Amino acid sequence: MNSNENAHDPLVEQALIGFDLAAEHHIAHCEPCQTERERVEEALCRFGAANREYANRPASFWEQQAASIRAAQQASVQRSRATLALVPSVVVLLLLGFAVLGRAPGVRPVAVAPPPAQTDSDHELLVGVERAMGRRTPLALEPATLMVEESSGNEPLNSTDESKERRSHEN
Amino acid sequence: METALTSAFGAAAQKITAEEFDAIVRRHQRRVHRFLLMLLRDPEEADNLTQECFLRAYQNLSSFRGESSLETWLLRIAANLARDHARSRKASFWKRLLGLDDEAENGAAAHVPSGDASPEQVLLAREDVRAVWDVANQLSQQQRAVFLLRFVEEMELTDIADALGLQVGSVKTHLFRALQTVRGKLRDLR
């Protein structure tokens, strides 16, 4: 058998998987393959029978299992019924809620307007930005500019009205 | 074998009564449980997942079109549940810790039918069963499912393909590889 087992291997497996005409034809004429097939088939039959026997349970086990499945199935049905029963109730509650809110006295839609204080501060900020843009020198550097002007006796670097005014006050 | 009840099940799936469903459970619970026990090698989990399988079947009755047999459909649900269970790291950790991997192998070997065989023959038969289980343990879960459905449940290749959502060609390939390993293992025994 060992001499030809490699050459004939696929045929034995093919015959074991299911009916295969070529494999059956070969095995019918090859004694080693026939023996090998019978050997593996026997082991597989024992394997199947032993496992079926092992998985066998007393009738009480199956009764108990069926009862557990029935209980779980009924619980599932009750859960889905409860969910279905809740849907109209929730819809009715929502509709009631909207109706009550819509009819409540004193509840009127109010147009949302920006608070006046915020509007004023925005305007002031814009004016401040415009003034800052009109200056030649940034506000923080103005004292230095004045010192340079005084020491050199030149014309004022910052010609804005504000700085002129401030210089006249200083004088 | 399909009965009037199970063939009508596909058409009027959503109208099935609790009694009809109970009858289906009683008809198929043994096979579903056995398949799960062989796949998971854990009696407690097999029991839990059998219940889960029937519950899922009940909740998804509308998806059963009657294209395959009811039993094949149930086995497909069982195979999916077993696959999800096997993916759980927690489950495999506890299984390894408690040595449940060996439980089915030894349990099945102890159930070798003796008949008129001599003690020596029974011992050899047990060795065979252990050797085949050893091979089955080394297979991927899908290959093991194919192997068990063929050689424990003795199902046809087309039914196995239906139950596991495979092509018949893939079923044959899985079986071919498994049988090659079984033959090698049995050769080593001698």
Write out pLDDT tens, residues B26-48: 999 999 999 999 998 889 999 99
Crossing angle, helix A21-29 and helix A5-17, to 10 degrees?
130
Quick one: pLDDT band at residue B1, thresholds 50, 70, 90? very low
Q: Among B34, B151, B186, whose Cβ lies nearest the Cβ of A39?
A: B186
> Could you give the CA distance from residue A132 to residue B69 in angstroms, rounded to a whole number?
87
> Could you give the CA distance from residue B145 to residue B86 in angstroms, rounded to a whole number?
13
Those residues whose C-beta lies under 8 Å from the C-beta of residue A43, and which sit 6 or more positions away, are B128, B129, B131, B132, B182, B186
Say if the Cβ atoms of A69 and B29 lie within 8 Å.
yes
Mutate to test the interface with B, among A53, A54, A70 (most CBs of B within 10 A): A54
> Could you give the CA distance from residue A73 to residue A70 in angstroms, rounded to a whole number?
5
pLDDT confidence of residue B10? 46
What is the nearest CA distance from B188 to chain A, expressed in angstroms? Answer: 13
CB of A4 less than 8 A from some CB of B:
no
Q: Using alpha carbons, list the distances in angstroms from residue B189 to A18, A39, B110, B185.
A: 25, 12, 18, 7
> Percent helix, strand and coil across chain B, each rounded to 5?
80, 0, 20
Say if the Cβ atoms of B113 and A74 lie within 8 Å.
no
What is the nearest CA distance from B149 to chain A, expressed in angstroms? Answer: 10
Q: Among B51, B104, B186, whose Cβ lies nearest the Cβ of A65?
A: B51
Say if the Cβ atoms of A51 and B108 lie within 8 Å.
yes
> Could you give the CA distance from residue B85 to residue A157 in angstroms, rounded to a whole number?
85
The token pair at A44 is 């597989």
The answer to whether A80 touches B59, Cβ cutoff 8 Å, is no
CB of A16 less than 8 A from some CB of B:
yes
Which of A48-57, A64-73, A129-138, B46-55 shows the lowest mean pLDDT across its residues?
Answer: A129-138
Which of A36-40, A117-121, B166-170 shows the lowest mean pLDDT across its residues?
Answer: A117-121
- Compare B179 and B67 and report the one with higher pLDDT: B179
Q: Among A43, A48, A50, whose Cβ lies nearest the Cβ of B109?
A: A50
Mutate to test the interface with A, among B41, B48, B106, B183 (most CBs of A within 10 A): B183
> Could you give the CA distance from residue B36 to residue B23 in angstroms, rounded to a whole number?
20
pLDDT confidence of residue A18? 81
Say if the Cβ atoms of A48 and B151 lie within 8 Å.
yes
CB of A17 less than 8 A from some CB of B:
yes
Tokens 């050797």 appear where?
Answer: B131
Q: Which of B40, B136, B42 lies closest to B81 in space, CA to CA?
A: B40
Q: What average pLDDT does the segment A129-135 reach?
A: 77
What is the nearest CA distance from A38 to chain B, expressed in angstroms? Answer: 11
- Compare B43 and A3 and report the one with higher pLDDT: B43
Would you say residue B20 has pLDDT above 60? yes
pLDDT confidence of residue A121? 79
Q: Among B18, B51, B107, whose Cβ lies nearest the Cβ of A74?
A: B18
What is the nearest CA distance from A73 to chain B, expressed in angstroms? Answer: 6
| pTM for the predicted model, two decimal places | 0.66
Kindly indicate whether the ipTM for this predicted assembly is greater than 0.90, answering yes or no.
no
CB of A71 less than 8 A from some CB of B:
no
Find the length of chain B. 190
Say if the Cβ atoms of A40 and B26 lie within 8 Å.
no
